Amino acid sequence: QTMKLLEENLPRLEAAGIKASIVQQKRVPGEAGIPAAWNQALSLVQGDIVALLNSDDWYEPDCLQKVHESFADNPDIEALVCPIRLHLPQGGQKLLAPRCLCLLPLLMPWPHPGSFFKASLYRRLGLYDTRYSIAADYDFVWRCHRAGVPWLALGDILVNMEGGGMANRNRGPARQETLAIARRHSPKSPLPYLAYALRKLSGR
């Protein structure tokens, strides 16, 4: 379905003067699939702003325009984060809003589909760590925090995300990766262990 949508919309993008291409992921032994795919795409980026959208998620019609305008109006920021609308598998919706990065030892404070980054930030901090198949985005946000990356939170809900993704389907490995990343970035804090225990008890 994703490939079909891409192929159908490629001529529309080209007609609008937008350079676009479809890249077939190359499997690399020892590298986790999703972050490896992100990195392969990032190595081909020619623009200034990076938007990563997973296959089941979608943008509101004015999303990219508002993101572009916000970066233009705030030239010093390197990251922009907006709330996302999570569509739950059992029905209903949930709002996931950006939160303070001080919460990183406990949880992922930014909804990754609602996060947009300057391409130069990846050149400065490096790409996604392909050791992590589920929580590579959490590790990257940790690196942003430790590097003091200037960022801005928008109030508009610009992204929709389907629930039941890879992290939800693999909660045990997700908990392990999240704990390992938090311990690596905050080795003296007891909070990652507390968060791990609470997630395990609650089945999250």
The pLDDT, as a whole number, for residue 68 is 96
The pLDDT, as a whole number, for residue 77 is 98
Could you report the per-residue pLDDT of 16-42, keeping only the tens digit for each? 777 777 777 777 666 658 899 999 999
The mean pLDDT value of the chain amounts to 90
The pLDDT, as a whole number, for residue 62 is 94
Could you report the per-residue pLDDT of 71-122, keeping only the tens digit for each? 999 999 999 999 999 998 888 999 999 999 999 999 999 999 999 999 999 9
**Superfamily grouping for domain 48-202:** Spore Coat Polysaccharide Biosynthesis Protein SpsA; Chain A (3.90.550.10)
List, in sequence order, every beta strand (DSSP E) within the chain: 49-51, 58-59, 79-81, 84-87, 93-96, 115-118, 151-153, 159-162
Strand order across the beta sheet in which 58-59 lies = 58-59, 159-162, 84-87, 93-96
Supply 154's token pair.
Answer: 């928008």
Whether the pLDDT of residue 204 is over 90: the answer is no
The pLDDT-based confidence of 9 (bands split at 50, 70, 90) is confident
The pLDDT, as a whole number, for residue 1 is 58
The candidate with the shortest Cα–Cα distance to 137, out of 163, 117, 160, is 117
The pLDDT, as a whole number, for residue 163 is 81
Q: Are 116 and 154 in contact (CB under 8 A)?
A: no
Segment 57-66 mean pLDDT? 93
Could you report the per-residue pLDDT of 112-158, keeping only the tens digit for each? 999 999 999 999 999 999 999 999 999 999 999 999 999 999 999 99
Supply 79's token pair.
Answer: 């990251």
